[in-house]
Amino acid sequence: MWSRLFGLVLIVVSVAVLGGQPQLASDIHPESLSRLPPVQRGGLDANGQRVYDVIAGGRAMGRTGPAAISLYSPGAAEPIHHLNQYLRKTVAGSQYFELSALLAAREFDQQYEWSGHEAAALSAGQRLTAPISATQSGSRSSSPRIAIIASP
């Protein structure tokens, strides 16, 4: 009796989990989640490998996101990376950098961008007293232009 019940529960849970996974479009690479496959360090020339190492910062390079895709153009990737790091450490500081990213993500209803910066904003000490993600806010016509109440 218990084995049948366990089997039934296992099947229902498996179907729910697997059925709930969104299918990627046929032109989306499963690792990079973009139309381009991840850049392999070994496939770059010496300068490209140097830029790869600068951007990776001694860690494993992420397979998704802007840094990984920027490596398709190492000449542009390095200055963009340095600008990004500079802006995070300016007088405004990381709290306001992340808040700015959240404001832009909210304004343009970009859930992916919001998800990438929400945890960083909280880690930087930003308190989102009314966090509203891009998808939670509804259409732009029915919601305020910026629906974030934040305080440093």
Q: Which of 79, 81, 76, 71 is nearest to 37 (CA)?
A: 71
Amino acid at 121: A
Per DSSP, helices labelled H in the chain are 2-19, 46-56, 66-70, 74-88, 93-107, 111-123
**Are residues 101 and 118 both part of a single domain?**
yes
pTM over 0.75: no
Q: What are phi and psi of 134, to 5 degrees?
A: -60, -40
Residues 73 and 98 in one domain: no
Return per-residue pLDDT of the chain as tens, 152 residues: 555 555 555 565 555 555 555 787 888 888 878 888 888 999 999 999 999 999 988 787 777 778 888 999 999 999 999 988 888 887 777 888 888 888 888 888 888 788 878 888 888 877 765 545 444 555 444 444 444 555 55
Ramachandran angles phi, psi of 150, nearest 5°: -135, 155
Query: Are the beta carbons of 52 and 71 closer than 8 angstroms?
Result: yes
Question: Residues 62-87: pLDDT tens digits?
Answer: 777 788 889 999 999 999 999 888 88
Q: How many domains does the chain have?
A: 2
22 occurs within a structural domain: no
